Amino acid sequence: MYSAAAAATAAASPPRRDFISVTLSSEEVAVGAGGYNNSKAWRRRSCWRKWKQLSRLQRSVILFLFAFLAVCGVISYTSMGEPWKSLTSKLSDNQRSEPEIPGLKLANPAVLPAPQKADDNPGDYPELSPQKPPKPPHVRRGSSNLQIKPPRKNVRLNTRHDSSRVVEELVQADKEEKTEKSVISWRGAVIEPDQSTEPPSSKKKESEKPSSVEAEDQKEPVPINDRQMAVIEAFRHAWKGYKEFAWGHDELKPLSKSYSEWFGLGLTLIDALDTMWILGLKEEFEEARKWVANNLVFDKNVDVNLFESTIRILGGLLSTYHLSGDSVFLEKAKDIGNRLMPAFKTPSKIPYSDVNIGRGTAHPPRWTSDSTVAEVTSIQLEFRELSRLTGDQKFQKAVDEVMKHVHTLSGKNDGLVPMFINTNSGQFTHLGVYTLGARADSYYEYLLKQWIQGGKKENELLEDYMRAIEGVKQHLLQRSQPNKLTFVGELAHGHFSAKMDHLVCFLPGTLALGAHNGLTADHIKLAEALMETCYQMYAQVETGLSPEIVHFNLHAQKGHKDVEIKPADRHNLLRPETVESLFYMYRFTGDKKYQDWGWEILQNFNKYTRVPTGGYTSINNVQNPSNPEPRDKMESFFLGETLKYMFLLFSDDIDLINLDKYVFNTEAHPLPIWVPA
């Protein structure tokens, strides 16, 4: 607005062509002075009249001015827009990051600039190289393929106090490794990133490639922590005994400083191969690899159990092949796989339990023509993977047929299966007894895991798994007294028994894995409850170690715990199931209590089962801390499973065997999950 004096001056002067004068009427001056006519119509009319009174030139100049101002406005908006947008989004990010807690208002809310992304303005800070933020545990990373990269240097650890030196060594080793990005193996041989997963056969189905080990993971390995160091130390102690007294034999007898043979195939050594790889034990792995290459011979007149040799030997060789990329393991896997095939030559195609791998003959146990249900339905992950790698479908065909057949069988109870199946008729036998323990356990585990391995497409497997878990809920779940622990009992001809094998403790982990893969969320709730129970099977016992079997109290009695142990059941075989489940539970929930429970268990293994001259031993009496009665045997699964799961449990690196890329067989040997290319 112009002042009244300016208006008067303008009115007095004659209009000049080269000046623009704007005349304001007295009415307008009056408005400026306080008189105010609020009629919209009047205002519109008056403006229009004035506009009409202007010369054409004046009108053009005014229009030009408006246009000019409009153009300036648009230009300055576009140049200011980005900073403005980022400012407003930073502000709103800041606002978002302050969680709203009802009833709580911060007196002085902090105003902080939003953290700048490393690549927001890389040129601004040339002296700073972009840094990865520290990885929070349990944050799922993207789907980049990875290779497990053990440290280039061997881990050296003589005592617990060595741990900081070892960490330094590992960090140094990692630095060295970064300079050799094209190499993915520390075994000496240079392996190109892709080479490790390429099956030797061109017959391999292109559409089913493993999600893992196809390309090198470029991410920084997470440093090993003190608890993991303690696992490495335990492994080394066990290995020392095996190497000194049982090298190349099946199992160490640590007290008598000798060994026992089951199949005569170096079972402990093969079972432990991928554990050494995962723990980063280079020297030990190298030595064991040489033994496999030079001494492992399957052309032997020996009877082996189909299930045990599949999960431990075939599974161990396949997983070590995947992790290391070394074809010697695949060659051996093919050899044993072929030698196990005669087991499937039965009238029903349900395999016999035993095979003579030298003669190529198979037979059931001497006293029956039955096979165990868990055994014939827990060899699938390994045989299917062998087909995928070799391109020879016969392995997969044989084991898939077993699953298809079992899927259609009658004699199940709401998805729960009996424990035996006849190799002639193909029918379940000993009907009416249902357990998730010995002889049935891994049937349930492999339903889920095959479904995951195959890319979640085989619906019958999922159906059978879901139905079985409903069956467990309906028939086998109970709560103990006094602490109301949820446990899985057994059903025999309609009678419930409150007996639970330690073997059942695989179930919390399997349920958690299912929930992680999108199955109903109440499975994780059940997993949490059962995990607590499995931990109590250790915590309520005098040595802090679980017996083989417990009986839960269903009725509160003064002075009685939830867990009762019968004299025949109080042995501990260094089994893995509870630490296995603790590992899954920690991976999926991030709850540190699971790590702490595992840590307690490791300490108790060290206290009651460690043999000073090397090795660990099974014990006969978990209730007697002053004499746990060592049994003089270290089972191969202690190195294959128990210590491996401990190491993984204590790790915060979800890429250390990423569970979206690998599925563990029932002997803790990770195999790749197949995904469509």
Annotated binding-site ranges for Ca(2+): 666
Q: How far is the CB of 666 from ligand DMJ (least distance, A)?
A: 4
∠ CA 450-456-459 to the nearest 5 degrees?
A: 85
| Residue from 191, 667, 673, 674 in contact with ligand DMJ (CB under 6 A) | 667
Q: Which amino acid is at 48?
A: W
Report if residue 666 touches ligand DMJ, rule: CB under 6 A. yes
Whether 127 sits among the annotated catalytic residues: the reply is no
Of 173 and 659, CB closest to ligand DMJ: 659
Kindly state the number of chain residues that form the binding site for ligand DMJ, as judged by CB under 6 A: 8
**Burial (CB count within 10 angstroms: exposed 0-12, middle 13-18, buried 19+), residue 363:** middle
| Binding residues among 623-652 for ligand DMJ as defined by CB under 6 A | 637, 641
Give the CA distances from residue 463 to residues 97, 408, 460, 466, 467, in Å, rounded to whole numbers and listed in that order: 42, 12, 5, 5, 6
Of the residues 271, 464, 501, 548, which is catalytic? 548
Determine what percent of the chain falls in helix, strand and coil, rounding each to the nearest 5: 50, 10, 45
Instruction: In angstroms, give the least distance from the CB of 292 to ligand DMJ.
Output: 20
Q: Does residue 577 carry a catalytic annotation?
A: yes
Cα dihedral 193, 197, 198, 203, rounded to 10, equals: -160
The smaller minimum CB distance to ligand DMJ, of residues 329 and 443, is found at 443
What gap in Å lies between CA 646 and CA 297, rounded to an integer? 31
What residue is closest to ligand DMJ based on CB?
Answer: 666
Q: Is 441 a catalytic residue?
A: yes
Q: Give the shortest CB-148-to-ligand DMJ separation in angstroms.
A: 21
| CA pair distance 245, 674, nearest whole angstrom | 40
Instruction: Report the site for ligand DMJ in 57-116 (rule: CB under 6 A).
Output: none
Of 275, 442, 581, 617, the one binding ligand DMJ (CB under 6 A) is 442
- Let me know: does 479 contact 416? Beta carbons within 8 Å: no
Tokens of residue 412, six digits: 């199940």
Q: How far is the CB of 171 from ligand DMJ (least distance, A)?
A: 34
Q: How far is the CB of 579 from ligand DMJ (least distance, A)?
A: 11
Q: How many CA atoms lie within 13 A of 121 on its CB side?
A: 6
Least distance from ligand DMJ to the Cβ atom of residue 657, Å: 16
Site for ligand DMJ, residues 487 to 516, rule: CB under 6 A: 503
In the annotated binding site, the residues are 666
Asked if 583 is part of the footprint of ligand DMJ (rule: CB under 6 A), the reply reads no
Q: Pick the catalytic residue: 214, 233, 308, 375?
A: 308
664 membership: H or E segment, kind and range: strand 662-664
Of 325 and 670, nearer to ligand DMJ (C-beta) is 670
Beta-strand pair 490-492/433-434: antiparallel
- What are the tokens at 49? 């009249």
Contact map string, positions 549 to 578, toward ligand DMJ, x by CB under 6 A:
--------------------------xx--
Six-digit token pair at 361? 């003959």
Based on the shown chain and the rule CB under 6 A, indicate whether residue 315 belongs to the binding site for ligand DMJ.
no
Which is the catalytic residue, given 250, 577, 641, 667?
577
End-to-end CA distance of the chain: 72
The neighbouring-strand residues paired with 208 are: 676
Q: Which of 370, 441, 490, 635 is catalytic?
A: 441
Catalytic residues, by residue number, are: 308, 441, 548, 577
Residues that bind ligand DMJ (CB under 6 A): 442, 503, 575-576, 637, 641, 666-667
